[in-house]
Structure 1
């Protein structure tokens, strides 16, 4: 069965249950001690409270583990209601190590495929979570796209995985190196209560190097390493797979520490010298404070550690609650924690000690003085570099000109302001990254802004930067993202834009697959995008060629208002129709073929790229998309559909199921066809495209209104 279908069925089945299961962790009656008749071991494995083996032996029924004995007399322990085999549980770490789930996909001739049951686990009834930071996902085999389906505590569905590319030359492989060829690995994005391992059905067939592929969860710090022998000898892998481990985190409750401590009756950290530790806002577990060890879940469970038994103390060691002292014996002085560190008291020893102290003070003063001198030198050096960059990009003349034209509306910031606004460009504030640069979310003057660190800038753009930013800052259109300021005292300028809240058109079309998008919204997005480009081509002075029109550069707010971004992002580009000849720059799938062939960039190149975007809006397919095992070009598929007079076949189902939509589809298809002409001079201007889309939109609205009141 296709995994996407299976995953949806699983989600539909588990969705009503997981919140109840999570809530039940706190609603169950919790006991503070384990009854004396409860077993303390499952075979050789010790089981400590709050867990238990047998009815009534855990803190609650959710902490009960199943202990089973096989025909050979060996014991195994499992998470209750699952077949997840527990190998060890750490009370202090809040972790358990389990037998790693492995999905084997083996070929025994063509087309015979041996598929065992998919490894999966629903941990919803238990306190366990699949750990995100202690595990990794691995795929081993020559060709194969392995996947990992997860459901988080917030009921979000997450899919992860990686592709182990097919091996054509075994000599390029290296033991212990998982390079992506024959072996790949990926992180676990979020702690999960449910996981399922699978292979996509369109995975590449196995090559001559192996007959099996393996997808698995592995402890990140485990000694298990990829071996090239796994590709030609399944027996070699099976032998090593026996020792594979994965890690589950566990929480005593799904409350945070702050909430749990408000109800001391059910609060689990009952031992003195214990502390509460939050786990990803999904719950908490307990641990003994430093200097103590034991079980924090039972009264007096955290016991003082006698450090004197384990530490090297060459003096007199005295154990203290939670710590220790290591002192020299009476009549001596010095450091008792090192061999020979204690010296007899006496006049000569004391004089020598004073000399050492005096010399040490001299050294410290000398070092501090040197450090202060060096710090002053470094600050002056950095300031000089910043002044150099500032002057390089226009300097004071640019600053004065911007103030005369914009007053305080355009801001020229210092680097320290942007570091503070983005928390030192923290990865958590990263919202986008592309060929031109990385965009961070920041807060300046209590207002959200988008701060873009450009990647590269050429010598010509460096000289013209001030002039070009001045041109872009004068753009004033409701559907063009506004540039609010810049920072010039860095090697590559940093730009500041208004922040748009609801992502990109690419996200809406291709990542929010369950969202229904009416044709009315698609026409609104297309028209506003066309109007923004028309403004750049016809009303900006000098005119602007965007260079990189694509769905991911069209931002949307919560009302689907378009904001075109990244126009000349790192290098704003004023140009005239006949004066723009440059190296090819843009995104594969959207690039004007005439521009690629000749290197001549004109406003008609943007028209071609917009045609691809409009085609994406109508089909909800990416510029390059996979169809089975084939990668297809959306433009090529469109031309083929035109030739076969069957464009309806490639349209999005949301459109073909709407009678009013189909009334205007021929007009929109004709607009796309004209925009995608191979010869640039045959393409319409953007203002003509905008007018045509506006006419189609009005026609659609009129037709929909008439149908609503029964005129048609």
Structure 2
């Protein structure tokens, strides 16, 4: 095996000239075994692998411009077979890829290394191993190494809070190759209690992932992990890749207000479905496949482009298609409907002979292939419907009377078929649709939901909504009705029963997400609070459940807080919004019929209406807590940056977990900095840096200047409250009810100070002041008596 000529660095995961290299102790051309310390915890088996670093140098052997490459294509079909390699080992090669000069489009050069048996194919100058090339799908499957996040040699495994950066990638910025966002996952294997951030080329946070491992059952005994093919959050976590880039930075951070953390982890970017988590945990797996998308050009499709010799879509039966799911725009070519092959080669798209596979096209008569299509007809001497089996009936010679009888009866049958067939077809379609709806209803826990709503007759009628109603409300889920969404779903705006509603539709059919939907229904159907988004109903007849909420039209707190420019929400609005969120959480914890812990409090989950009133949303991760218990042990869920470190370490969910997340939200309101993306000059997270400036008395260094200008003596008390909420030990944090009382008193004092400033001019306002103070006190979550709750619930709209 060849030895790389480039120098090696001591720290795994460092990037040198586009390659990730192992430490000096490993002299092979490949990557180190993954995370020895991590695997020691799980008693790994000893395995031997070789791997390849992940980089790409597209200019390699090419000295052709795009136009000259395009002109070469005009004779490519006739001459390429003799001059250009069509295979390397077991992999087929076709244009725009190529090995020899003049055989590839700019940026698509390959290297075939014959020192291996069989030979291996590499991108560019021979650093990224190619496993498969697909022209029709526009993808290349390559071998990708893990990034081992380990301390430098000689350093202790527990490092200070300075974030550790590592790089995954090495592809040329701008393309033509990008990590496929839809077909790959970001994986982290670790028991080191850290959060790992995936950063884009501009250092913006793409996604984040965190794992935890419960304590071992006994000294010297490894934890028995569940044998799963997918990450469960225990020892392994996975996250989506929202947008395709050529490279990513990987940043390691402590999950909360922690000064030291263990940075021993392994990170993969890998093709979804290509890995077995059990194998990753118990064996050394240095490489996994990654699927790369590619574009033939960074330009977009236009008639002017297609008319020039530089157009890459050379086949007459091809088309140009834009792609915008990458960090950079571009286009690919494809064969027209009814054709298959290579659109980048003259006459490369060949007609598909549908008649060679007539059974796939439901042709039971005579199949006649036509350019880009086919025609199905009954054989000579027969008549009827050739698209159904036995649909063509023979013509039989008989006497004139019999012929007349047959014609008459046949005419009657044809009339009956002409009139009855649509009805029969419609009936069959309706029956199939009903069966599908029934299947989805059961799959989406509809029977459980029926049992839930049967306990409350008034809820059953208004909460079960049919799919037909939602299709009508959204104009069949028209894209113009989309008002939001993310990696997990789309939100549509619709009109249902003369009311504007928001309809949440999941993108991905994953059982866990279906369970989250049902969990959200179960919780929100039993909660009524002015600062919690109201669930109107749900539909379980679709492949994925759909939830219908009141429409909150003014976006999220995150959107309003992090606008560009120096002016954001006023300090008065921020303080009021914080109180409203706290009031909702205090209600969930101590005033609801069953305690509920939200588990995912963050600015993106706080909706604001036209008057900037806060509405807590997204209860998919929430948990009902038994009245006689203070918490439950469960798999960790939440958002990195807001996640309670004690919950993260132990898996023990308590009310103080929500208190920590709310504390982070208070810090965000005070500083106007994003918890996930922020790093101090020392590499500290936002929470850790905030705690240090409060302790050192230099809070002004971190506060939003707008808050400093508008506050009236409350900011120090709010900051002290936030610092208490984000303390590492949950027992040192206040209860949400206590937080609510503190914020309420601050808000009353602020209002009173404003009234005192104007009372010299208005002497008749004493009565209104007293009433306002009473109203402020009434705005607390208040643990009402049963009679008061019944009375108040009667005033809620049904």
Pairwise TM-score range, normalised by the shorter structure: 0.5 to 0.7
Distance in 2, Cα, partners of 1:614 & 1:441: 30
Aligned to 2:99: 53
Q: Is the 8 A contact 2:211 2:233 kept in 1?
A: yes
Match of 2:351 in 1: 304
Does residue 185 of the first structure (1) align with residue 224 of the second (2)?
Answer: no
With over 3 angstroms needed to count, the CA separation of the structure-2 counterparts of 1:614 and 1:257, relative to structure 1, is: closer
User: Compared with structure 1, are the counterparts of its residues 341 and 72 closer, same or farther at alpha carbon in structure 2 (3 Å cutoff)?
Assistant: same
Contiguous gaps of at least 5 residues in structure 1 = 11-24, 207-212, 378-390, 396-413, 473-479, 537-546, 571-582, 591-607, 699-712
Give the alignment partner of residue 321 of structure 1, picking from 362, 368, 371.
371
Aligned residue in 1 for 2:614? 565
Query: Closer, same or farther in 2 for the Cα pair 1:432/1:278, shift >3 Å?
Result: closer
CA contact (8 A) 2:141 2:290 kept: yes
CA gap of 1:108–1:564, structure 2 versus 1, over 3 A, is closer
1:121 is displaced (CA, Å) by 2.2
Q: Aligned to 1:100, what secondary structure does the other structure show?
A: strand
| Unpaired segments ≥5 residues, structure 2 | 1-8, 19-63, 159-163, 217-221, 255-259, 435-456, 462-467, 505-519, 541-545, 585-595, 620-628, 631-637, 645-659, 725-733, 759-798
Residue 500 in structure 1 maps to residue 500 in structure 2: no
Higher relative contact order (CA 8 A, sep 6+): 2
Flag the 1:79–1:690 CA change in 2: closer, same or farther, 3 A: farther
Determine the structure 1 residue equivalent to 2:143. Answer: 99
Equivalents in 2 of 1:625, 1:304: separation in Å? 52
User: 1 CA distance for matches of 2:663 and 2:175?
Assistant: 52
Aligned residue runs from structure 1 range 250-269, under 5 A: 250-258=294-302, 261=305, 263-269=307-313
How far is the alpha carbon of 1:565 from its aligned partner? 1.8
What is the alpha-carbon distance in structure 1 between the residues aligned to residue 242 and residue 487 of structure 2?
19
How many angstroms apart in 1 are the aligned matches of 2:470 and 2:706? 57
Any residues of structure 2 matched to 1:474-553 within 5 Å, and which? 496=550, 499-500=553-554, 503-504=556-557, 508=561, 523=571, 525-526=573-574
Tell me if the contact between 1:140 and 1:184 (Cα under 8 Å) persists in the aligned partners: yes
**Count of paired positions:** 563
- Aligned residue for 2:347, secondary structure, equals coil
Deviation at 1:346, TM superposition (A): 0.8
Q: Which residue number in structure 2 is paired with residue 209 of structure 1?
A: none
Corresponding residue for residue 483 of structure 2: 429
Question: What secondary structure does 2:72 align onto?
Answer: coil
**Contact residue 104 and residue 116 of structure 1 kept, 8 A:** no
CA distance in 1, matches of 2:525, 2:99: 72
Residue matched to 2:270: 218
Q: Determine if the alignment matches structure 1 residue 284 to structure 2 residue 331.
A: yes
Q: Any idea what the Cα deviations from partners look like across 1:338-393, whole Å, max 9, x if unmatched?
A: 98876643158985993875775686476479799999x9xxxxxxxxxxxxx969
> Offset of 1:660 from its aligned partner?
12
Structure 2 residue aligned with 1:78, among 78, 99, 122?
A: 122
**1:390-469 alignment to 2 at 5 Å?**
419-420=473-474, 423=477, 429-430=483-484, 440=491, 442=493, 451=502, 455=521
Counterparts of 2:101 and 2:312, CA distance in 1: 20
Query: Alpha-carbon deviation of 1:142?
Result: 4.9
Equivalents in 2 of 1:626, 1:589: separation in Å?
Answer: 15
Distance in structure 2 (CA, Å) of the matches to 1:174 and 1:125: 40
Give yes or no for the alignment of 1:132 onto 2:181: yes
Which one of 88, 91, 94 corresponds to residue 43 of structure 1?
88
Residues 147 and 198 in structure 1, CA contact (< 8 A), matched pair in contact too? yes
Instruction: Provide closer, same or farther for how the CA distance between residues 27 and 551 of structure 1 changes in structure 2, counting only shifts above 3 A.
Output: same
State the match for 1:689 in structure 2.
749
SS at match of 1:227: helix
Structure 1 CA distance for aligned equivalents of residues 170 and 757 of structure 2:
49
Shift of 1:96: 1.5
Cα gap change, 1:697 to 1:157, in 2 (>3 Å) = farther
Secondary structure of 1:272's aligned partner: coil
The answer (yes or no) to whether the contact 1:104–1:215 under 8 Å persists in 2 is: yes
How far the C-alpha of 1:131 sits from its partner, in A, is 0.9
Q: State the match for 1:710 in structure 2.
A: none
Query: Do 1:198 and 1:215's aligned partners in 2 also have CA atoms closer than 8 Å?
Result: no
Whether 2:701 is the aligned partner of 1:653: answer yes
Q: For residue 207 of structure 2, what is the aligned residue in structure 1?
A: 160
* TM-superposition CA deviations, 1:526-551 (whole Å, max 9, x none): 46759999xx9xxxxxxxxxx99986
Q: What is the alpha-carbon distance in structure 2 between the residues aligned to residue 116 and residue 686 of structure 1?
A: 41
Question: Using a 3 Å threshold, how does the CA distance of structure 1 residues 686 and 444 change in structure 2: closer, same or farther?
Answer: farther
CA distance in 1, matches of 2:205, 2:685: 26
Secondary structure (helix, strand or coil) at the match of 2:170 reads: strand
1:62 aligns with 2:107: yes
Moved more, 178-187 or 415-424: 415-424
Answer whether contact 2:481 2:493 (CA < 8 A) is retained: no
Whether the aligned pair in 2 keeps the contact of 1:102 and 1:214 (CA below 8 Å) is: yes
Contact between 1:256 and 1:283, CA under 8 Å: does it hold in 2?
A: yes
Q: Is the 8 A contact 1:291 1:304 kept in 2?
A: yes
Tell me, yes or no, if structure 1 residue 345 matches structure 2 residue 390: no
